[in-house]
Amino acid sequence: MKTTENTTLPDDVERLKALVLALQNKNSALQKEAAKEAAEAKRFEKLYYETWEKWQLALRSRFASKSEAYDGQVDLFNEIEQTLEPTVEEIAEADAEKETITYTRKKARAPRIAPELPREDVLHDLADKDKVCGCCGHDLHRMGEEVSEKLEFIPAHVKVLRHIRPKYSCRQCEQQAIRTEIKIAPVPASVLPKSIASASLLTQIICAKFVYGLPLYRQEALFKSFGIEINRQTMSRWLIKVSEQLRPLYKYFHRRLLEQPAIWSDDTRIKVIETDNAQCAMWVYGCGMETPLPGGAPPIVLYDYRDGRAGRYITDFLQGYSGLLQVDGYQAYQQTHATLIGCWAHARRKFKEAKDVQPKGKTGRADVALSLIQKLYAIEKSLPEKTIEERLAIRQQQSAPILQQIKEYLEKTAFEVPPKTAIGLAVHYSLNQWNKLTAYLGYGETSIDNNRAERAIKPFVIGRKNWLFANTRTGATASAILYSIVETAKANGLRPEQYLQALLEQLPTTQAEEIELLTPWNITLS
């Protein structure tokens, strides 16, 4: 036997061979165990980072500003500079923009008190005895004046309109005991004939709830302060009856909407007590953009209540519509016959979230995508006054190369980042939606994003924070109709109060074939 410092080795060859094999097996087992522990550590490290990102995003969602603005002024690292590769023309253009910004004057602040409000002058003058000079005793002359303005608020004025209809009969026939005809003026036309609610009262209730988000129980308390007893159940019945009267106008809007070459859609949840279903949804559909196209159709905004978010509800409302439909990434829209246009605001939002969880002051992969997307939006800012043909040509010429850069960056980054991190989710979402995101290049009638639909659904979301839920399907459907009327009026530049007042006054005397006269773009306002 040979003895070493640490181990005694056998002299027998077979025993040495067995010992070597045993040591090799042990070493192999230890390597496997180390690899397993390293893989486990790597998995936990990845899970930790993903959880940390979700935590940071949750904190930002709850406490930080909701703005998605991206200034693009950060100094990007070399990889971004190589990816963007600005041309000489772009550098010159950027220098020109910087020079323009240097000499741009600050935008004038809008007046706090609207100039069109009526003014009442209140004169504060000196007494006659004080209009003399204290030095020489001569009369003072008026050299000018100082004016300050204060807002005067006049509380709502409530009154009762007594509709008096004299009755007439023939005195001669009465004296001869002959049955006489009694004549009386007809009952004035009204949306709710046997109700105390006038057009102005209904307008107040509708606007308070569907424009300013004031629930009916709060309106009940408000009316009580004026000495009026109107409970919320009565107001609820009024709103449902008014919505039934307005259904022909809603259907006319629906027909006009489906005639448009391009529309948009979005949805949000609504709790309806009667259904006991957490998936109830309020859909919004509309046409028109923030800046209407020259010669385009008037904007329309329609809400549609459904018991769920299934694709059949969309196809039922769209009734075989085969035009352009701009939406988010929800898969149910695939069941329609429309050509789907994606939303770059959703893609940008995910990259903005990835940027938010980057270490403060650092730049990363999200900045590359945000910088390129910002270029797309800069091109869109020049399009509002252009015709459809001009918009299409500019997009094909200027936006298409940038989209190609974005596609190459996404495909490269997809292999470099974990798929469940914030940047990984943003990259894979954009790649999965790529055909929809680039579809707007082929059409001048659509926008680059679906922000118009998100702004249209926002009044409903704000109102829902106050009234929380609907009791019945009938109530939810009535809300959809009334929201549609209010939001369509706002989209056409009308004050909802003014439009509803005229609409409810003229509706009872308007024939079915004349319903177009009651649209916001045709109605004669009071």
| The most confident of 105-114, 136-145, 251-260, by mean pLDDT | 251-260
Give yes or no for residue 379 having a pLDDT over 80. yes
pLDDT in tens, 77-112: 333 333 344 444 544 554 544 444 444 555 667 777
Q: Give the per-residue pLDDT at 270.
A: 92
The candidate with the shortest Cα–Cα distance to 209, out of 487, 476, 483, is 483
| Least confident interval from 212-226, 292-306, 367-381 | 292-306
- Choose the weakest-confidence range: 35-39, 314-318, 424-428: 35-39
CA dist., res. 80 & res. 363, Å (int): 9
pTM: 0.77
The pLDDT, as a whole number, for residue 88 is: 45
Summarised one tens digit per residue, pLDDT across range 316-325 is 999 989 999 9
Mean model confidence pLDDT for the chain: 84
Query: To the nearest whole percent, how much of the chain has pLDDT over 70?
Result: 85
Question: Is it the case that residue 4 has pLDDT exceeding 50?
Answer: no
Poorest-pLDDT segment among 62-76, 387-401, 495-509: 62-76
Least confident of 49-63, 161-175, 178-192: 49-63
Tens digit of each residue's pLDDT (9 = 90 or more) over 279-305: 899 999 999 876 666 667 889 999 999
Would you put residue 363 in left (φ > 0), alpha (ψ -120 to 50) or beta?
beta
Residue positions counted in the chain: 526
What are phi and psi for residue 437, nearest 5 degrees? -65, -30
Beta-carbon contacts of 84 under 8 Å, excluding residues fewer than 6 positions away, are 76, 368, 371, 372, 405
Question: What's the pLDDT score for residue 67?
Answer: 61
Neighbour tally for 303: CB within 10 Å: 28
Query: Which of the four pLDDT bands, split at 50, 70 and 90, describes residue 178?
Result: confident
Q: Concatenated DSSP letters for 125-192?
A: ---GGGSB-TTT-PBP--------------------------EE--HHHHHTT-----EEPPPPP-SS
pLDDT for the residue 74: 39
pLDDT number for residue 159: 87
**Beta strands 262-269 and 324-326, pairing class:** parallel
With 70 as the cut, is the pLDDT of residue 516 above it? yes
